[in-house]
Copies of this chain bind each other. A is one copy, B any other.
Amino acid sequence: MSLRHALLGLLADEPSSGYTLTRKFEASLERYAWSARHSQIYPELARLADEGMIEVAEEGARGRRTYAITDAGRAELRSWLVDQPPYTSVRNVLVLKMFLLSTLDPVDAKAFLSHLADNAERELEELRTQVAELDAAEGTQGFGRFAAEYGLREYALVRDWAAWAMERIG
């Protein structure tokens, strides 16, 4: 049950509405870590509120409800992060494809790897400029910067791995 902890984490950073949380998933989490749609987020927020992990901090226009994390929520989040072993359940379509590459003939495999490397390079460049802006703008403590740094390194990894695999295929 990671969704609730992702939500608690985002709310620990700052109070947000379900709508905003949905946007945050799309903006950063979804690409590297976790995805969720609004149809899953709203009911989960309701449950978290029921359990006292979060509370409505503000009600705005268009029925907007801004939630804030409570002390109980913070405790739950910390316990999940620190106490539980960071056992890692992973599903990653791209990596799966990378692993199944050896089932293709060399021509197909190389075409795939070439596209993959190009794509990683492009995403890397894009993220790099974003990060540069972020770093220039302010002393950006926390959140997004950790994600971005991981992203930078992961794109570089994919690009380099693809180059290695291409060389190996010959």
A residues in contact (CB < 8 Å) with B: 2, 5-6, 9, 12-13, 28-35, 74, 77-78, 81-82, 86-104, 108, 111-112, 115-116, 119, 141-143, 145-147, 149-150, 153-154, 157, 160-161, 164-165, 168
Contacts and interface: CB of A to CB of B under 8 A. Distances in A.
A78 to B, nearest CB: 7
Per DSSP, chain A at the interface is helix
Contacts of A6: 96, 100
A96 B146 contact: no
Given A2-B91, A153-B160, 7 more contacts: A78-B104, A88-B94, A89-B91, A90-B91, A99-B143, A145-B168, A149-B161
B88 A100 contact: no
Contacts of A160: 153
6 contacts: A32-B99, A81-B100, A86-B115, A86-B116, A90-B92, A154-B157
Given A99-B146, A157-B154, A111 B82 contact: yes
Contacts of A89: 35, 91-93
B100 A35 contact: no
B101 A81 contact: yes
A147 to B, nearest CB: 5
